[in-house]
Amino acid sequence: MSLIILIIATLFTTAQLSDNDMNDPRRTLNLMPLPAELETTGGVFELDSTFAVGFETEPTRRLVNGVNRFMHRMGGRTGIFFDHPHLTKETRVESPKLVISIKREGMLVLEEDESYRLTISPGRINLEAETDIGALYGLETLIQLLNTDRGGYIFPGVTVTDAPRFPWRGLMIDAARHFMPVDVIKRNLDGMLAMKLNVFHWHLTEDQGFRVESRVFPELHRQGSDGFYYTQEQIRDVIAYAADRGIRVVPEFDIPGHTTSWFVGHPELASERRRYEIERRFGIMDPTMDPTREEVYDFLDRFLGEMAALFPDNYMHIGGDEVTGVHWMENERIRRFMEEREMEGHRDLQAYFNNRVLAILQKHGKIMVGWEEILHEEMPKNIVIQSWYGRDSMIEAARGGYQSILSNGYYIDLIQPTDVHYVNNPLPPDSPLTDDEKKLILGGEATMWSEFVSPETIDSRIWPRMAAIAEVYWSEDVPTVNLPQRGRETVIPADMLTPEIRSMIADMYRRLDVISLQIEEHGLTHIRNYEVLLRRLVNGYETGRLRTLVDVIEPVKIYRRPAQRVYTSHSPLTRVVDAARPDAKVARDFRELVRVFLEEGATDVQKKAEIRRQLEMWRDNHQQLLPVIRRSPILEEIRPLSEKLSQLSELGLTALDLIGSDRFQDREWMALRMQQIENARQPHGQTEIMITTAIEKLLLKVPN
Amino acid sequence: MSLIILIIATLFTTAQLSDNDMNDPRRTLNLMPLPAELETTGGVFELDSTFAVGFETEPTRRLVNGVNRFMHRMGGRTGIFFDHPHLTKETRVESPKLVISIKREGMLVLEEDESYRLTISPGRINLEAETDIGALYGLETLIQLLNTDRGGYIFPGVTVTDAPRFPWRGLMIDAARHFMPVDVIKRNLDGMLAMKLNVFHWHLTEDQGFRVESRVFPELHRQGSDGFYYTQEQIRDVIAYAADRGIRVVPEFDIPGHTTSWFVGHPELASERRRYEIERRFGIMDPTMDPTREEVYDFLDRFLGEMAALFPDNYMHIGGDEVTGVHWMENERIRRFMEEREMEGHRDLQAYFNNRVLAILQKHGKIMVGWEEILHEEMPKNIVIQSWYGRDSMIEAARGGYQSILSNGYYIDLIQPTDVHYVNNPLPPDSPLTDDEKKLILGGEATMWSEFVSPETIDSRIWPRMAAIAEVYWSEDVPTVNLPQRGRETVIPADMLTPEIRSMIADMYRRLDVISLQIEEHGLTHIRNYEVLLRRLVNGYETGRLRTLVDVIEPVKIYRRPAQRVYTSHSPLTRVVDAARPDAKVARDFRELVRVFLEEGATDVQKKAEIRRQLEMWRDNHQQLLPVIRRSPILEEIRPLSEKLSQLSELGLTALDLIGSDRFQDREWMALRMQQIENARQPHGQTEIMITTAIEKLLLKVPN
């Protein structure tokens, strides 16, 4: 037995972790999100074609489907022709190797039991759960444990006891600004289940498009969508697909602002009476529903009633964000309405509107969710606040007795690096909330706003970063850093990183790499479409030179992209900025290499050689990329960036030669070079070089 | 002006062509399928953000949608933020640069006018067509003409006058043996339009699955599909999507054989009365409808009536292939029925059945299409014969007065190389048919049977080979080679290749490379999923070593794959054989290099060095691939292939050293090495090395 254990032990990749973490066996496996408890029991389960699943209790349809998908993926990864690759509810396997027992079908409601217990021993695996949803999670953990030894595929002998930290673990996809076809949604639902996420928040209406078929008011989708909307059959199909994966679908109909597309077919709902066209630009627009007219509530009653029947979830999201109030204040009748009711500003009018909508939702059996702007002293406590702009609104909501969901700090459309999201603990150890207030924090949701993504690129903005965020929602064992500007950082300040947090982040990145690759099997395109975009950009198959550059650049962060160029919903999303990926790994690894090299006193010969090798490659890349740029005018915009990368690398090489030498440089020398560094920080084509600070660090070590 | 022409001239990649072809300007552009006429007129059209489309005549909705897709792709390729990226039927562009005029909306019927005329001059492009379908084709030609010069993007000044050779240009997808979700179908429809294909033949029912919702007989899809079927709304959606692209949808309901999945819900239709389950194996099965019972025709009348209303095309395909007759002959009542009617064998009974079905189809307004087995003297002339097993049936059909479609020689599931399909001219110059008989040949259809493809791999089996086949259906200017075993060749015998045919094939491959890359923009996965499969196989990001091997191997051809291993519909399709691509380019280029090198007398030093470089790389790859194989048991099966590639390359290097030397080798030496060559031809993991014959050729030049 001990030999086998030894072999297994060498198989698990390990990262540099502090002694304490190193003893945690979870850190030696490739699990994400980290389970609550894991114990190694020794031995391995060896996989062959007789591997088959059986049920100790009557399986639900969801569980049978889940097992069939599991077996299909197992076949896909191992190439094994299983004897029982596919089960029906009637199938009885003679001697199953994996035995599943559940107590009941899980309900798609908040606080459903999602726990499971997985026991792997040689020749036998047991998976027990209260609900079939818990069992699905157990299967996801099991497939992450799939490993190899010299003889073939195995599962290590472990016992996993697991349950989530938060009951609301969500991903919001904005399918309105850019329409996302059903297949995009479905593959992301598969990715969500793999990461034990359980709420798909579907942002369905916007100024730029009304994306759901309404049979009651068909002019909404007919005139508001350019033909790009989900039919009710498609909606039902997606809901069933999600339900099969233990995922709730919470639809959002954003009102009273963000509603231009509604007004194309129904201008009578608007505060300003005129003809409307679908909005093509992005930003915060003034068109807003008129909260003073009863017909608007009649309309909403019928429309939301239709949607309440279509979407079975208990919750419905009414948006409520970014209401400018301009069209209200410009309308004399509306102003009078406000004066008569002694409203002090447009926020009061919105609270009035929200209360009316709340009554409608309640009539249709739904709990209201809205963005933090709906928080208002006039609102009752039975609504859910989604904090996005600042985390304070979550605190304020909880103190006010409201349930809330944290999205601030999880805006994945802002292209922040993974670790910035990862250290954003909704309830950090020093949370100012009382225990009772903490219970009001339901969980978190990452938001994928779609101004700058197409079906071709959206996956690369969601994954793999979403997986690390999912861990924050699921697991207790995540690091906390209280960042100064919550939700706006593009880097964690070095002085806030303790060795322990550093090692937890390093371990997260290690596991993220593995997971990112695994979820490709669901059809997710976050890895594969990178080369597709590069090929189109160079108009050929040889992407190497361009890739060398794009591997170390990223799109500009936060809201700088629209600030640098005016986009509409028909602007191309096929430029270098769209190919470039968030949290560029090559650049990140280089930064880490330089950091450790300098921290260790800049004496490690191997690290120095590796830094030099990289810098020489980047230095020489520009000349080789130039002919590619000449053949592809679309690349012209990043020519300066390519040149600057070359110059930066030259600078880095110079610094590398001087560090540790006795050749002191004067202030002028340094100032000139710092000027170059600053210059290299300037974006081109809305992208920026991600190794500039590392080069700066090298320079600062030059004797002077 | 002359300077600009000079610049343009240097931009067009040219292949080695005979003098005659070299004068044809179509051979200097990247067009596929080749248009009927193209004239260069000098000058270029320069593209900028003011490029916009206008209509001289009232545009149809199909044309407006087509123009919007065209502009979207233009933006995607150039990155230009166009002023008018999106039109509605109401949009009026002030000064359009591309002006389209059509006479009328095209009908989705056989022999519809699909011609167009495209005139590009500096500052102005005109596109004229009889129908909007012709205009769509003109747009496809135009976007293939997109090119660059130093200043930016341009179209060359040309006039194209174009129309198709055959009116029926099809692709059949078998969505029954492996279900293909709607997004797979849609992206392939886009690829079809890009190649001016106009018939999507949808194979919807099989022993392994019944893939269409029937509201009249819902147990068909409920019990016959494992839940994987198209709803009628999805069918309508696909038909509308195809219609928007000028593509007819011809559904196939394969009867009376290939019907096991029908019988799960409706055993009363079967010749053998028993319980049926969905068939999981592949092959020719005995379950067959009972043609002797009136209830079967009542059923078919109602079912095909429902389908006739769902699918608007004039044609309906009833399959009719591979009826074994076993269950008929085993049934005494059926035998008696045949005896009473003096039928001589089961083919007569099938003809009786087909005539009954024909009456049903005619009642519902449909023209019958069937595989060649339906050809029978009892059948009237108003049916269409699809020749698949042999080309003779096409000749026979035409001589008998039947219209026909050629699929023999276009079986893309058999993994033959592109050129074998490309030289398969339906009506070669030496065709034995009279002019009147030739008119009965409607065109061709490639068939994508799905025993061995999943949604992940199917595109790589269709594309890019389909594009070359599309050229055969569209263009008059294609080569003809009368291969000895039509439809079964894995290579064109060298002695059948004249220099002219060689140059036409070389030019086809040159253009195919360009087109293959361009159609990625439709979401086709034929290029991108190669790396996805390799990543999964190595369980990591570093695929280089495995890729070096898989770049020169191919799946075994024709029907050898199922002969070597028993597959079911749940067998994994993620092994090396599934990653390996038909007509592996690296191997093909190497074979061509060796051929030219030897033909030129084996003296070209550069070519020799290039051959050596490649052989050394392959020789050394095995040692570097071994640790990868050790980590991934799924790769174990191709270990011998990797080793043989190394040994073959070693052999090739030895031969290269000896060729032209005076070191004569004896017969024994040669025999031993020829033995090694034979050994290397043996497949492993259902794949084979594609450079073996090239090495053999080198060896045969060794002095002996």
Q: Is the peptide bond before B251 cis (omega within 30 degrees of 0)?
A: no
pLDDT at A8: 36
Q: By the 8 A CB rule, do B384 and B400 touch?
A: no
pLDDT at B485: 81
Whole-angstrom distance, CA of residue B480 vs CA of residue B423: 5
Q: Which residues of A touch B86 (CB under 8 A)?
A: 226, 280, 570
- To the nearest whole Å, the CA of A72 is away from the closest chain B CA by 7
Handedness of CA B300, B302, B303, B307 (dihedral sign): positive
Q: pLDDT per residue over B680-702, tens digit each?
A: 999 999 999 999 999 999 999 99
A124-131 vs A116-121, strand pairing mode? antiparallel
Per-residue DSSP letter, B308:
H
Nearest Cα neighbor of B469 from B507, B419, B521 is: B419
Two structure tokens written together for B266: 């409706």
Whole-angstrom distance, CA of residue A611 vs CA of residue B143: 44
Q: Could you tell me where in chain A the CATH 3.30.379.10 domains are found?
A: 37-162
- The beta-carbon neighbor of A181 closest among B77, B183, B233 is B183
Whole-angstrom distance, CA of residue B162 vs CA of residue B133: 13
Listed by number, the residues of chain B in 570-599 with a beta carbon closer than 8 Å to a beta carbon of chain A are 570-575
pLDDT at A485: 81
Band of residue B21 on the pLDDT scale cut at 50, 70, 90 = low
Q: What percent of chain A has pLDDT over 90?
A: 93
| Mean pLDDT across A284-304 | 98
Band of residue B3 on the pLDDT scale cut at 50, 70, 90 = very low
CB contact under 8 A, A540 and B517: yes
- The beta-carbon neighbor of A535 closest among B181, B520, B525 is B520
**Above 80 in pLDDT, residue A20?**
no
Two structure tokens written together for B360: 């049903």
A169-458: which CATH topology?
TIM Barrel (3.20.20)
From B566, which residue of chain A is nearest by alpha-carbon distance?
Answer: A81
A531 in contact with B, Cβ within 8 Å? yes
How many residues are there in chain A? 704
B703 in contact with A, Cβ within 8 Å? no
Question: Which active-site residues of B does the annotation give?
Answer: 322
DSSP-assigned states of every residue in B119-132: EEETTEEEEEEEEH
Nearest Cα neighbor of A82 from B577, B177, B572 is: B572
Q: How many CB atoms lie within 10 A of CB B476?
A: 10
Q: Which residues of B touch A565 (CB under 8 A)?
A: 81
pLDDT at A21: 57
Q: pLDDT per residue over B551-582, tens digit each?
A: 999 999 999 999 889 999 999 999 999 999 99
CB contact under 8 A, B531 and A528: yes
B3-27 in b/e form (b: 16+ CB < 10 A) is: ebeeebeeeeeebebbeebeeeebb
Instruction: Compute, in degrees rounded to 10, the torsion defined by CA atoms B586, B588, B594, B600.
Output: -120
B222 in contact with A, Cβ within 8 Å? no
B209-210 vs B205-206, strand pairing mode? antiparallel
CA Rg value for chain A: 27
3-state secondary structure A214-226: CCCCCHHHHHHCC
pLDDT at B488: 87
Q: Which residues of B touch A181 (CB under 8 A)?
A: 183
**Above 80 in pLDDT, residue B4?**
no
pLDDT at A668: 95
- To the nearest whole Å, the CA of A203 is away from the closest chain B CA by 22
CB contact under 8 A, A517 and B541: yes
Whole-angstrom distance, CA of residue B357 vs CA of residue A688: 67
Cα end-to-end distance, chain B, whole Å? 60
Q: pLDDT per residue over B253-269, tens digit each?
A: 999 999 999 999 999 99
Choose from B178, B530, B539, B564 for mutation: most chain A CBs within 10 A.
B539
Specify the residue for token string 């960042």.
A483
Q: How many CB atoms lie within 10 A of CB A164?
A: 23
- 3-state DSSP assignment of residue A93: coil
CB contact under 8 A, A528 and B523: no
A37-162 belongs to CATH 3.40.50.2300: no
A315-317 vs A367-371, strand pairing mode? parallel
Nearest Cα neighbor of A196 from A404, A439, A406, A34 is: A34
Helix B667-680 vs helix B692-700: angle between axes, to the nearest 10 degrees?
A: 170
Q: pLDDT per residue over B231-243, tens digit each?
A: 999 999 999 999 9
CA angle B63, B66, B69 (to 5 degrees): 155
Q: How many CA atoms lie within 13 A of B690 on its CB side?
A: 30
Q: By the 8 A CB rule, do B681 and B635 touch?
A: no
Two structure tokens written together for A145: 């444990």
Instruction: Compute, in degrees rounded to 10, the torsion defined by CA atoms A519, A520, A523, A527.
Output: 130
**Above 80 in pLDDT, residue B406?**
yes
Q: pLDDT per residue over B376-397, tens digit each?
A: 999 999 999 999 998 889 999 9
- 3-state DSSP assignment of residue B35: coil
From B84, which residue of chain A is nearest by alpha-carbon distance?
Answer: A570
- Computed over every residue of chain B, the mean pLDDT equals 95
Give the amino acid at B360: I
Of residues A390 and B555, more confidence is placed in B555
A700 in contact with B, Cβ within 8 Å? no
Q: How many CB atoms lie within 10 A of CB B676?
A: 17
Listed by number, the residues of chain A in 42-81 with a beta carbon closer than 8 Å to a beta carbon of chain B are 71-72, 75-81
Listed by number, the residues of chain B in 418-457 with a beta carbon closer than 8 Å to a beta carbon of chain A are 455-456
Q: What percent of chain B has pLDDT over 90?
A: 93
Q: How many CB atoms lie within 10 A of CB B485?
A: 9
A95 CB burial (10 A radius; 0-12, 13-18, 19+):
exposed
Q: pLDDT per residue over A489-502, tens digit each?
A: 999 999 999 999 99
From A636, which residue of chain B is nearest by alpha-carbon distance?
Answer: B152
Whole-angstrom distance, CA of residue B169 vs CA of residue B137: 14
Catalytic residue among A272, A322, A396, A521: A322
Q: pLDDT per residue over A6-18, tens digit each?
A: 333 333 333 444 4
- Angstrom CA distances, B517 to A413, A455, A530, B513, B672, stand at 29, 19, 14, 7, 43
From A183, which residue of chain B is nearest by alpha-carbon distance?
Answer: B183
Handedness of CA B225, A240, B183, B108 (dihedral sign): positive
Q: Could you tell me where in chain B the CATH 3.20.20.80 domains are found?
A: 169-458
**Above 70 in pLDDT, residue B480?**
yes
Band of residue B7 on the pLDDT scale cut at 50, 70, 90 = very low
pLDDT at B89: 72
Q: pLDDT per residue over A433-468, tens digit each?
A: 999 999 999 999 999 999 999 999 999 999 999 999
What residues pair up with B55 in beta bridges, in sequence order? B100
- The beta-carbon neighbor of B575 closest among A79, A521, A630 is A79
